[in-house]
């Protein structure tokens, strides 16, 4: 590898890596889910506690992933870690779940959401056409070179955060405060221990998903041993702070009965803060924010496919890079998958279909902190999980509970997802004829 190639390979700064985490985490969930929580939970303290607990779970996951990323700073995320910690077959299954459900389906969902919000302002636009144009355009940007793609990611992530901060400030200064207490009261204990609180926590935790985004590009991050844990922790803490402030403003500015049962919480709050044109302003805010979300997933997803191509000869085409070191074939495969999902509108079904396996993948990865320490005791660990084993166990316990909840709530979809994994397991044993290097 030439000197210029080496520099390009480490072209992602700490700031860009942090932007990738933030952009991946902040989607439409924070602007929609509060309405469902407010149906059965009427306490301002309990509602904010939901978002704090969700942030704690995300942070515990980020702390654990930081150790694995620092000790094994290679592209691929769960695919790479699970292949080395457990078995290459486990990594292969996780990798293809990431490629399809972990990235392609959320990109399609985010693109359609962007189009939905944009046509509220420009009703003459075609939603599918807008979604396809955005995904194609961002994919082409990230086939150019890593430096340009990094600047693009930085600009739109900073813009997203600034817009949210402006919304928070305007909520404090322009809205009429509601008579809702945010201090704990006698009845809050019963609320927090209720099944409604538990169900709401599941969806809050989903709203925090994406805290691990930077690990998929680990080998392209400058000084990954230091910067990957920092990016995961700083990015996650930033989003936790924004989510808490944003939900506080929602509750501070808008009567609870107006929010209860409503999907478009962001629109309702914007109307309370800005007046009759608030919904259009909120639509533009969310649309601009979703550009950075899509961009971060377009950056991260193909790196998983690329590493699969490096390891397994059948998929070696996907490992090829252009002159700038970008895995273009992997990006175009992801673009093809997203296009098919947008045309058939099947991305929501796929996310539901394999939601159980996505949660299982992150559970096994964090559990891998224990196993990797036992299996590879001499592996260099420039960063060790803060608060381990308590923070690791907290993440595992809550995610195990989520796995049980998902399986109980959607048994058919969960079993179908597991059946699909068995199919990919057969593909793995047919395609992996070479000996896999299982060392980190």
Instruction: Report the distance separating Cα 129 and Cα 278, nearest Å.
Output: 25
Q: How far is CA 104 from CA 87, 298, 304, 372, in A?
A: 25, 8, 12, 29
Q: Give the model's pLDDT for residue 385.
A: 95
User: How many domains is the chain built from?
Assistant: 1
- Could you tell me which of 57, 51, 61 has the C-alpha nearest to residue 81? 61
Q: Is residue 438 part of a domain?
A: no
User: Residue 404, Cα to own-chain centre: how many angstroms?
Assistant: 21
- Contact by Cβ (8 Å): 382, 353: no
pLDDT at res. 329: 94
| Helices (H) then strands (E): counts for the chain | 20, 0
Asked if the structure places residue 30 within a domain, the reply is yes
Domain span including residue 119 = 10-430
Q: Is 276 domain-assigned?
A: yes
pTM of the model: 0.91
Cβ burial 58-69 (10 Å sphere, 16+ → b, else e): bbbbbbbbbbbb
Closest of 155, 157, 152 to residue 142, by C-alpha? 152
Residue 2 within a domain: no
Q: Looking at residue 129, what is its pLDDT?
A: 94
pLDDT score of 437: 52
Answer whether residue 103 is part of any domain.
yes
CB atoms < 10 A from the CB of 235, how many?
A: 28
> d(Cα 350, Cα 360) in Å, to the nearest integer?
16
**Residue 209 CB-half CA count within 13 A:** 22
- 12 phi and psi, to 5 degrees? -100, 120
Instruction: Output the pLDDT for position 44.
Output: 92
Label residues 149-159 b or e (16+ Cβ within 10 Å = b): bbebbbebbee
| Structural domain includes residue 1 | no
| 435 in any annotated domain | no
**Average pLDDT along the chain, 440 residues, taken 10 residues at a time:** 44 93 90 88 93 96 96 93 93 87 88 87 89 96 90 93 92 88 87 86 89 93 95 97 95 92 86 82 83 94 91 86 90 94 81 80 96 94 95 95 85 84 83 59
What CATH number should be reported for the domain holding residue 403?
1.20.1740.10
């Amino acid at each position: 590898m030439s000197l210029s190639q080496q520099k390009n390979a480490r072209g992602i700064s700490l700031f860009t890596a942090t932007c990738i985490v933030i952009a991946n985490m902040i989607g439409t969930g924070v602007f929609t889910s509060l309405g469902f929580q407010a149906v059965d939970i009427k306490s301002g303290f309990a509602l904010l506690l939901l978002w704090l607990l969700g942030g704690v779970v995300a942070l515990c996951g980020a702390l654990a992933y930081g150790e694995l990323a620092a000790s094994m700073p290679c592209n691929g995320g769960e695919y790479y870690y699970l292949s080395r910690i457990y078995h290459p077959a486990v990594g292969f299954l996780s990798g293809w779940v990431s490629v399809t459900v972990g990235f392609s389906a959320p990109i399609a969902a985010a693109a359609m959401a962007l189009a939905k919000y944009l046509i509220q302002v420009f009703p003459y636009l075609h939603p599918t056409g807008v979604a396809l144009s955005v995904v194609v355009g961002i994919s082409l940007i990230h086939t150019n070179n890593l430096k340009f793609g990094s600047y693009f990611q930085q600009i739109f992530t900073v813009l997203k955060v600034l817009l949210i901060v402006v919304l928070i400030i305007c909520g404090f200064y322009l809205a009429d405060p509601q008579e809702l207490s945010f201090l704990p009261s006698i009845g809050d204990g019963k609320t927090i221990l209720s099944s409604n609180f538990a169900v709401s926590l599941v969806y809050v935790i989903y709203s925090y998903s994406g805290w691990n985004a930077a690990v998929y590009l680990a080998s392209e991050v400058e000084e990954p041993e230091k910067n990957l844990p920092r990016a995961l922790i700083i990015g996650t803490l930033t989003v936790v702070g924004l989510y808490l402030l944003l939900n506080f403003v929602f509750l501070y500015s808008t009567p609870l009965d107006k929010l209860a049962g409503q999907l478009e919480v962001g629109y309702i709050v914007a109307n309370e803060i800005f007046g009759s044109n608030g919904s259009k302003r909120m639509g533009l805010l969310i649309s601009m924010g979703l550009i950075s979300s899509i961009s971060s997933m377009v950056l991260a997803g193909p790196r998983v496919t690329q590493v699969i191509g490096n390891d397994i000869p059948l998929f070696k085409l996907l490992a090829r890079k252009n002159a700038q070191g970008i895995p273009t074939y992997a990006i175009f495969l992801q673009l093809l998958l997203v296009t098919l999902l947008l045309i058939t509108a099947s991305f929501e079904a796929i996310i539901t279909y394999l939601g159980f396996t996505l949660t299982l993948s992150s559970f096994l990865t964090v559990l891998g902190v224990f196993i990797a320490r036992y299996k590879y005791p001499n592996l260099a660990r420039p960063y060790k999980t803060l608060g381990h084993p308590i923070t690791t166990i907290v993440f595992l316990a809550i995610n195990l509970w989520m796995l049980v909840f998902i399986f109980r709530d959607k048994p058919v979809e969960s079993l179908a997802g597991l059946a699909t994994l068995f199919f990919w397991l057969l593909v793995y044993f047919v395609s992996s004829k070479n000996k896999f290097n299982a060392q980190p």
